[in-house]
Amino acid sequence: MVTITKIPGLGDYGVFVDGADLENISIEEWQTVYGKLHLDTLVTIFRGTNLSPDRWSELMLAFGRSNSLSPYTFLKKYNLTLDSKLPIQHAFNKMWEDLKAGVYPLTPEDQSFVTESDYTRAPVSVGQAQRVSGQRDEQGRRLGIFAEGELLWHSNESGHLSFTPGVGLLAIDHVVGSSTGFSTTARWYQDQSEAFRSELNELICQHEFQPGKINPGLNLVQDHMFKHNFCPTPNQLPLVIDSPGGIAGLHFSPNTVMGFVGMAQEESDALLARLKSELFDESNVYDHWYKTQHGDLLLFDNSITQHRRLGDVKNRLLYRMGTSYRNLTDHQYQPYRQSEFQHRLQEELADITKVTGQVFKSFKNPIEFTKNT
């Protein structure tokens, strides 16, 4: 029997799901029942699923493949082309192998990113997943991203115009003693006065990568990965956006937001301090402390929801994959309310399609599970 209960601290924007047989669920039920539930609730935690990594990767792709920002960035920056004779996933893999092998001259920082990304890739049958782990190999090399220490509040790809709006984490091993925490900004935003919401709606954030801001003391190699992931170049994006399910909230990642366009730094700092204090107050936070070593599946919105990590991560191992949710909606996700940013996003998605060949379809397209080579 499946039971669905609210997650404490998240109001209407977080639920536990217990008893779901995700290993044998049909793709249609996964999309129409749990996909809709997730879009409506932002944070959905399936406890004790015993889900296999390969089946998990299929379920994540059934929600919608991510926007492939890393391949796009390298194809664009170095004027590369994909092998059009291969399926997209295989073409991405081949490009990555060529980059790793030094076929193309990359900057030292980019070469470090490619090498580390490849080494931390999770072994799943379909899609691109990363290991999130503090484990090391026999030579002492880190096997996963976010390998050490606590992770402060953040959302991934926060400084990217076409950020990936959702993330799935599957607990694999040694997660007890650690937690993944969430703060959904939607409830806080809805609780503000109409006048203050109107002010927030007009604000444009100035994003810039700040070394060590998300993971103090992080090693230089993975700092390069963070820069690529969060904000490779300074950017300006609206503070208030809509989630893929149409829920308004704040696209606010403290590790990249430096201030607000047109606002004096002193005033910006005061508002930033207020947002951090109120958004991350314990009354708005849920930390999921794992009770079993394997099987918890955490699906969470990455548009208006922040997450963090606490606890012991030395031997911790989870798999992580992003999702666009485009197979759950009847339209292309448009987070922005301002016409300038709407047009910019449309142009960038069109360019991603041109450069990568990945067409951004929507609404329950046939799912092609191209096996990884």
Within a 10 A sphere around the Cβ of 346, how many other Cβ atoms? 13
**Whole-angstrom Cα distance, residue 204 to residue 236?**
6
Is a pLDDT exceeding 60 seen at residue 361? no
pLDDT tens, 4-17?
999 999 999 999 99
Instruction: Give the residue from 238, 250, 253 showing the smallest Cα distance to 336.
Output: 238
**Whole-angstrom Cα distance, residue 321 to residue 308?**
16
The bridge status of strand 43-47 relative to strand 15-18 is parallel
pTM, whole model, 2 decimals?
Answer: 0.92
Token pair of 244 as six digits = 């893929």
pLDDT of res. 68: 67
Q: Which residues contact 16 (CB under 8 A, 6 or more apart)?
A: 3, 4, 5, 6, 7, 45, 46, 47
Per-residue pLDDT band for 370 (boundaries 50, 70, 90) equals low
Per-residue pLDDT band for 282 (boundaries 50, 70, 90) equals very high
**Whole-angstrom Cα distance, residue 214 to residue 154?**
7
Token pair of 331 as six digits = 């339209």
pLDDT of res. 93: 83
pLDDT of res. 244: 97
pLDDT of res. 280: 96
Q: What is the mean pLDDT of residues 231-236?
A: 92
**Whole-angstrom Cα distance, residue 361 to residue 363?**
7
Instruction: Read off φ and ψ for residue 171, nearest 5 degrees.
Output: -75, 125
Please say whether the beta carbons of 209 and 256 come within 8 A: yes
**Whole-angstrom Cα distance, residue 163 to residue 68?**
10
- Domain ranges in the chain are 3-356
Instruction: Provide the percentage of residues in the chain whose pLDDT is more than 90.
Output: 62
- In angstroms and rounded to an integer, the radius of gyration of the C-alpha atoms of the chain is 20
Q: Is 38 left (phi over 0), alpha (psi -120 to 50) or beta?
A: alpha
Q: What is the CATH number of domain 3-356?
A: 3.60.130.10
Go through 52-79 and write b for each residue having 16 or more CB atoms within 10 A of its CB, e for each that does not.
ebebbbbbbbbbbbbbbbbbbbbbeeee
pLDDT of res. 220: 66
Per-residue pLDDT band for 366 (boundaries 50, 70, 90) equals very low
Is a pLDDT exceeding 90 seen at residue 189? yes
Q: Hey, which of 53-57, 97-101, 226-230 has the most confident mean pLDDT?
A: 53-57
Per-residue pLDDT band for 363 (boundaries 50, 70, 90) equals very low
The mean of the pLDDT values for the chain is: 90
115 Cα distance to chain centroid:
21
Instruction: Read off φ and ψ for residue 79, nearest 5 degrees.
Output: 55, 50
Q: What is the mean pLDDT of residues 245-264?
A: 96
Sole residue written with tokens 């059934």:
62
Q: Which DSSP symbol is given to 84?
A: T
Is a pLDDT exceeding 80 seen at residue 315? yes
pLDDT tens, 207-233?
998 887 777 655 666 677 778 788 889
